[in-house]
Amino acid sequence: MRPRPAPRNLAAEIRAALADKSLETALSAAVTGINAKRREVISRFPGYEEARRRARQIEEQAIAALPELVDRFAAAVEAHGGHVHHAVDGEEACRIINSIARQHDARRVVKSKSMTSEEIHLNEALEAAGLEVRETDLGEYIVQLAGDRPSHIVAPIIHMTLEDVREVFRKSFALDSVPFDPEQLTQLARQRLRDDFLAADLGITGANFLLADSGTVVIVENEGNARMTTQLPRAHVVLAGVDKLIPGVTDLLPFLQLLPRTATGQLLTSYLSFISGPGWAGAPGHAGEQRGFHVVLLDNGRLAMRDDPLLVEALYCIRCGGCMTVCPPYQVLGGHVYGGPTYHSGIGNAWEAGVSGLATAAGFNDLCTTCSRCQDVCPVGIDIPWMNAVLRERIAESRRRPRGLLERAIVDRLLPTDEPGAVSIATRLFSDPARVYRLARRRPLRALMGWRVARLLLERTAGVAADRRLPVPAEEPFTSWFRGRSGRVVTNGLEAERASSDRRESTVVLFADCHTEHLETAAGRAAVECLDRCGLGVVLVSGHCCGRAALSQGMLRTARRQAEALQRTLAPLAKTGHRIVGIEPSCLSAVAGDHRKLLPGAVAEQVAARCHDVLELLEQRFGDAGVAGARAPEWKPAPAGPRQPLLLHGHCQQKTLGWMPAAVRLLESIPGFDLRTTTAECCGMAGSFGYKRDYYPVSAELGRRLIGEIEALEADPRHGRLAAGDAGSGWSTKSDGPSTSRGAPQAGARACRYLACGTSCRAQIEELGGRRAVHPVELIAERLR
Ligand code: SF4
């Protein structure tokens, strides 16, 4: 049985990380650079999606055929004079490697980067056996000198600044003067490592891929240290998880195309090594020498992951690290906080659950906001947010105690839930936005929440951050307004059956998500108006939650029940070919994506296939793509003078599900505007994440960075000042915006409009930036005649 990990105080770790200015400098420079390079090289790779599809397929097939691949690989290695060892866990792997070292009379070991060796604490085991171990990857070398640990699987010192590295060199090498130039620092390390390479008896590497047909170990690297590690010492040990096996060399191409592009934004890495045996033994100058070549195949939980319908997907991971640099909480916290002992960020949760146990994963699972930005970038299409939601449920179940009397008598009545056992008030609240909005509509309660003492009490009892502004619901729900104009409202399957006979070409189904229904009713009204303008009648599906909020709390039973009810209502309409239109991207993404996992089957697939983001549908109808019934929009004429700046912040799921380009095209087609979009992955709110006491600081930091980007875009010369007289016209800055230096237009500044599709994005921009943002559909409705 695994020992229980020491409990973590995540809130304290978060506070410390956010206060660390050096970490902020290091991380933000690194993630910005890597993400920009990745975007650039991928945009120039036309075969990207095909390579992703192929890589995923190969991984799925390889993991399914793993026992057979292990046998084929072992036979091929042995045929070339190498040895294959099978290690059930880390302890056994360390024992095997120590015994190989003894067999080769090794005293000095050089290692190239291997997260698998971090996972099993190999260095400590070798040093305990009296061996000298030297890491030779530059980042790992610095980590070793600093007595630190990697915070990223590809860039181990992503958390360090140049000054941090200089300090490590100063202390480690007792230098009075340390160069400022990174190249000179590298030379310093290189000179020292050269002696280590030449003196080493044993080289240890990991592997990026193992080719079963030829017994070949494939190593992808940039520094050449892996080549030296494999070729100079008398023996070479490869430590690799069994998940690294793929059938053969013909399967390698998509991985070699994807790995460098996603990991570091490179077209190719500098060195690609194929090692199929002991190498130079018997070569000229080495006659009679016995060179050792050993491959240690590590299980350490991987075979159990293979049998787990959830965790099996993590085994497809090719360890590119792309999901980490785009992960919003990782971007501000780094891998030491958002990670376990070895693996980091969202995918790190699944890996730690698999190799260290659920209790380790529980230490940082909450930091996954399920924003989905990682899914977009993952070269093998791993659904990391889904894995983390299910892990959240497993973690909750592993801790579950029976409900108490008070909970059953009072809390269950006020905030019912489908989950078994005790469920905290915070979890109940965060999983049910419609209920929260209905409560907040009650004026006495709203007045009470205006008191700081009440907010502090709410923070203590329900974990709702006292500093976060609470949403104020609209007086009239969206559905009431829609009924008032004699619109057809459908709330159940029977009504949907009746409505399904409406003409499907000229009628669409608009899904009234909880946020549009209670809070952002203007967006709902504008959507109806725009659909009407392009000749589409609306049937409104109302009274259902998509289940997304419950899902992000790991409350899968509740989410499944909500999804079932919504699917029963949507299915008859989807079956008769009606298009389903959503306004709030996170809710639409639940219907188009998560429901297929919650309720696998043809019905959910059919509903998902009929889903459209409202802007995507409007762009189709207004565009000239040959869509039946399309008509050119009749925009109001643009006002005289320069075009008005328009800033659009894309919602996470809007980007992940590919709805963003249509939104941009549509907005660019409106006369008189100059559109710019933000590049921030996420505003930091991520639904309920930004309302939680412990995570509010992370959310606020991400929000501040977004506002910083907005300020930079506002200062862009292309959005330059207008002639006097236009000052302030249409400026949508809120007067009570608390935190930015640009709280009001300066004399001569041009009006700027702010757009965001997500309810929580708009709340964040308004609260932290003092700028009122609206859903783009509101602007479109305003500009249509
Ligand atoms: S989960 Fe995907 S993006 Fe993340 S490291 Fe693995 S392969 Fe790369």
Cα(192) to centroid(ligand 1), Å: 33
Instruction: Give dist(CA 559, CA 545) in Å, integer.
Output: 9
- Please provide residue 21's backbone torsions phi and psi, each rounded to the nearest 5 degrees: -65, -35
Pocket test for ligand 1, best of 380, 387, 656 (most atoms within 8 A of CB): 380
Instruction: Give dist(CA 363, CA 355) in Å, integer.
Output: 14
pLDDT score, position 732:
36
Judge whether 587 and 579 are in contact, CB under 8 Å: no
What are the distances in angstroms from CA 589 to CA 584, 598, 619? 9, 13, 19
Instruction: Give dist(CA 750, CA 341) in Å, integer.
Output: 50
pLDDT score, position 491:
97
Residue type, 365: N
Does the beta carbon of 55 sit less than 6 angstroms from any atom of ligand 1?
A: no
Does the beta carbon of 323 sit less than 6 angstroms from any atom of ligand 1?
A: yes
Does the beta carbon of 317 sit less than 6 angstroms from any atom of ligand 1?
A: yes
pLDDT score, position 22:
97
pLDDT score, position 187:
96
Give tens-digit pLDDT for 628-642: 667 788 899 988 888
Average pLDDT value for residue range 428-433: 92
Does the beta carbon of 382 sit less than 6 angstroms from any atom of ligand 1?
A: yes
Query: DSSP labels for 191-226?
Result: HHHHHHHHH-SEEEE--SEEETTTTEEEEEESSSHH
DSSP 410: I
pLDDT score, position 500:
86
Residue 56 has pLDDT above 80, yes or no: yes
Q: How many CB atoms lie within 10 A of CB 483?
A: 14
Instruction: Give dist(CA 378, CA 56) in Å, integer.
Output: 10
Grouping H, G, I as helix, E, B as strand and the rest as coil, residue 644 is strand
Long-range contacts of residues 733-736, Cβ cutoff 8 Å, at least 24 apart:
733/770, 733/771, 733/772, 734/766, 734/770, 734/771, 734/772, 736/770
Give tens-digit pLDDT for 590-608: 999 999 999 999 999 999 9
Judge whether 48 and 376 are in contact, CB under 8 Å: no
Query: DSSP labels for 308-329?
Result: STTGGGGGG-----HHHHT-HH
Does the beta carbon of 319 sit less than 6 angstroms from any atom of ligand 1?
A: yes
pLDDT score, position 288:
67
Nearest CA to ligand 1 atom 8: 320
Nearest CA to ligand 1 atom 2: 378
Does the beta carbon of 152 sit less than 6 angstroms from any atom of ligand 1?
A: no
- Where does the pLDDT of residue 55 fall: very low under 50, low under 70, confident under 90, or very high at 90 and above? very high
Tell me which residue has tokens 């923070």.
459
pLDDT score, position 746:
47
Grouping H, G, I as helix, E, B as strand and the rest as coil, residue 64 is helix
pLDDT score, position 735:
32
pLDDT score, position 725:
27
Nearest CA to ligand 1 atom 3: 378
Average pLDDT value for residue range 668-693: 93
Average pLDDT value for residue range 395-405: 90
Is this model's pTM higher than 0.85 or not? yes
Atom of ligand 1 nearest to the CA of 319: 5
DSSP 177: -
Cα(300) to centroid(ligand 1), Å: 19
Atom of ligand 1 nearest to the CA of 384: 1
pLDDT score, position 282:
59
Judge whether 101 and 202 are in contact, CB under 8 Å: yes
- Where does the pLDDT of residue 744 fall: very low under 50, low under 70, confident under 90, or very high at 90 and above? very low
Percent of the chain with pLDDT over 90: 83
Nearest CA to ligand 1 atom 7: 317
DSSP 232: S
Pocket test for ligand 1, best of 378, 384, 386, 388 (most atoms within 8 A of CB): 378
Give tens-digit pLDDT for 212-265: 999 999 999 999 999 999 999 999 999 999 999 999 999 999 999 999 999 999
- Residue 518: name the closest of 737, 689, 759 by CA: 759
Does the beta carbon of 26 sit less than 6 angstroms from any atom of ligand 1?
A: no
Average pLDDT value for residue range 651-675: 95
Mean pLDDT of all residues in the chain?
Answer: 92
Average pLDDT value for residue range 372-389: 96
Cα(676) to centroid(ligand 1), Å: 30
Percent of the chain with pLDDT over 70: 93
Q: What DSSP element (H or E) covers 46? A: none
Query: DSSP labels for 450-473?
Result: TSHHHHHHHHHHH-B-TTSPPP--
pLDDT score, position 421:
87
Cα(350) to centroid(ligand 1), Å: 11
pLDDT score, position 745:
43
pLDDT score, position 740:
36
Q: Which residues are bridge partners to 303 per DSSP? A: none
Cα(263) to centroid(ligand 1), Å: 9
- Residue 298: name the closest of 285, 315, 281 by CA: 315
